[in-house]
Homo-oligomer: A and B are copies of this chain.
Amino acid sequence: MYYEEQQEPVVQEDDKFLQDPIIRQMVVQLRAVDSYGTYDTWSDARVVDPLVLTKERRRAIPVVGDPDETTISRIKAYYNTLAQLLERETGLLAVPVINITHEGFGRALILVGKLVALDKTLRDVHRFGFESLEALVAEANKQLGKAATLVNEHRTVAEL
């Protein structure tokens, strides 16, 4: 059912976005949840490669059935990454909360104190991914920027 094994990698070993703080943190988070040590011998490019969904890859993913654990662990890694970077930027503890139903819908929150710094409805969880590492970095930076602004505007609540 799953596609990774047969597919050619999309992310090149010299992709300059592999040096971006967001991708570096994604690699850390993905390696952290790799409890079987599958990634131990993999390069960073290979670890983040499944997050890049080209049109062909997207089409190859069946959306029937529950989203698999690997997909969900990638979504968690992504929001853990945002939380980590938000924490670095604001100096306040940021806690990700992910709720995904069996049907592949859900909600991702990042809480800072009593403030909901990020609130994202998740749809089409089966096909979680980005067109390129560049697109991932751009989206993450946009979300981070909004969250950090919210924290700074309502710092009293974020410090509760």
In the complex, which residues 65-103 of chain A have their Cβ closer than 8 Å to any Cβ of chain B?
97-99
Q: For chain A, give the interface size range.
A: 10 to 19
Interface of A is mostly: strand
Bound Cα distance from A13 to B109, whole angstroms:
42
Number of copies: 2
CA distance A114 to B109 in the complex (A): 10
Q: Smallest CB-CB separation from A112: which chain B residue?
A: B116
Alpha-carbon distance A116/B115, docked complex (angstroms)? 6
| A→B interface (CB under 8 Å) | 97-99, 107, 109, 111, 113-117, 119, 150, 154, 156-157
Give me 20 A-to-B residue pairs in the complex whose CB atoms sit less than 8 angstroms apart, sorted by A's number.
A97-B97, A97-B109, A98-B99, A109-B109, A109-B111, A111-B116, A113-B116, A114-B115, A114-B116, A114-B117, A114-B119, A114-B154, A115-B115, A115-B116, A115-B157, A116-B116, A154-B154, A154-B156, A154-B157, A157-B157
